[in-house]
């Protein structure tokens, strides 16, 4: 199974994601420069964290118009697995692949620390290795991680079981304690915490590794023909 990690100007977690897939998951992975326009050779695509284009306009707003994003949109709409982490989540929101928006943290400060999450839905390609209701430790590192969606949108997320992770103690003001969601089809994940930074015990937690392990499990199952 081949993974791709998109690299935007300003990405700074691309190598962490590459390491998680290559060294820990033991799967082929390539960097994808943001000017690339084809993703046919990949089984899953990761949009990593960082500060794409320096967050000079609105977080993710410039990266959304990179050439790669038309390919990502097409890839996602054809059923391809897409994982957006932190800034990658923000880019998916800007591109309309996930509903809602990101606001400044209610503290108006950058926050970088481990937080506890509750796993809300394990019936997705990204969470099958977790247990329902499991509490996990995964770090955050953001200034604009305050997820917002209107009441109608929030109700839709709940009805369609799109909320994947919730904060146990909300660090940024996100509505309904939301830390991660999927699209209605379930093949696009956006999460603000960094699973690649908690992918092995030496980092203080290996809870995030299960996101990558779940993804690989789903891809392998999909490839088995009856």
Instruction: Convert the pLDDT of each residue in 89-119 to its tens digit.
Output: 999 999 999 999 999 999 999 999 999 999 9
Catalytic: 34?
A: no
pTM here is: 0.94
Give the model's pLDDT for residue 51: 74
What gap in Å lies between CA 32 and CA 2, rounded to an integer? 12
Give the model's pLDDT for residue 41: 94
Are 142 and 59 contacting, i.e. CB atoms less than 8 angstroms apart? no
Q: Please name the residue that has the structure tokens 């146990």.
A: 168
Give the model's pLDDT for residue 43: 97
Catalytic residue among 17, 94, 144, 194: 194
Give the model's pLDDT for residue 28: 97
Closest CA to 174 of 102, 222, 120, 126: 102
Q: Mean pLDDT across the stretch 12-36?
A: 95
Give the model's pLDDT for residue 117: 98
Q: Where do the DSSP E strands lie in 12-95?
A: 29-33, 44-47, 81-85
Q: Mean pLDDT across the stretch 61-90?
A: 90
Q: Does residue 11 surpass a pLDDT of 90? A: no
**Domain tally, the chain:** 1
Catalytic residue among 94, 120, 144, 196: 196
Are 86 and 194 contacting, i.e. CB atoms less than 8 angstroms apart? yes
Specify the DSSP element, H or E, that contains 187: none
CATH of the domain at 16: 3.40.50.880
Q: Does residue 131 surpass a pLDDT of 70? A: yes
What gap in Å lies between CA 106 and CA 78, rounded to an integer? 36
Closest CA to 208 of 42, 102, 93, 83: 83
Q: Mean pLDDT across the stretch 136-150?
A: 96
Tell me the percentage of the chain whose pLDDT exceeds 90. Answer: 85
Give the model's pLDDT for residue 223: 79
Please state whether beta strands 163-167 and 178-182 pair in parallel, antiparallel, or not at all (unpaired): antiparallel
What is the extent of the structural domain holding 102?
3-223
Q: Mean pLDDT across the stretch 131-138?
A: 97
What gap in Å lies between CA 89 and CA 175, rounded to an integer? 16
Mean pLDDT across the chain? 93
Per-residue pLDDT reduced to its tens digit, 157-173:
999 999 999 999 999 99
Catalytic: 13?
A: no
Catalytic residue among 86, 129, 142, 144: 86
Per-residue pLDDT reduced to its tens digit, 185-223:
999 999 999 999 999 999 999 999 999 999 999 999 987
């Amino acid at each position: 199974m081949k993974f791709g990690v998109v690299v935007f100007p300003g990405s700074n977690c691309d190598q962490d994601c590459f390491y998680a897939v290559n060294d820990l998951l033991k799967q082929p992975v390539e960097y994808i420069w943001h000017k690339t326009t084809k993703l046919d050779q990949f089984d899953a695509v990761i949009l990593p964290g960082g500060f794409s284009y320096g967050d000079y306009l609105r977080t993710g707003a410039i990266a959304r118009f990179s050439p790669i994003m038309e390919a990502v949109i097409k890839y996602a709409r054809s059923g391809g697995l897409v994982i957006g982490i932190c800034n990658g989540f923000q880019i998916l929101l800007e591109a309309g692949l996930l509903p809602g928006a990101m606001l400044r943290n209610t503290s108006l400060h950058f926050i970088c620390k481990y937080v506890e999450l509750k796993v809300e839905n394990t019936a997705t390609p990204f969470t099958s290795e977790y247990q329902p209701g499991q509490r996990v430790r995964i770090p955050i590192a953001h200034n604009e991680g305050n997820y917002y969606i209107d009441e109608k949108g929030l109700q839709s997320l709940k009805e369609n079981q799109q909320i994947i992770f919730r904060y146990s103690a909300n660090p940024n003001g996100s509505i309904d304690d939301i830390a991660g969601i999927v699209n209605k089809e379930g093949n696009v994940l956006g999460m603000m915490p960094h699973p690649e930074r908690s992918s092995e015990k030496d980092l203080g937690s290996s809870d995030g590794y299960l996101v990558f392990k779940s993804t690989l499990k789903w891809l392998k199952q999909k490839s088995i023909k009856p």
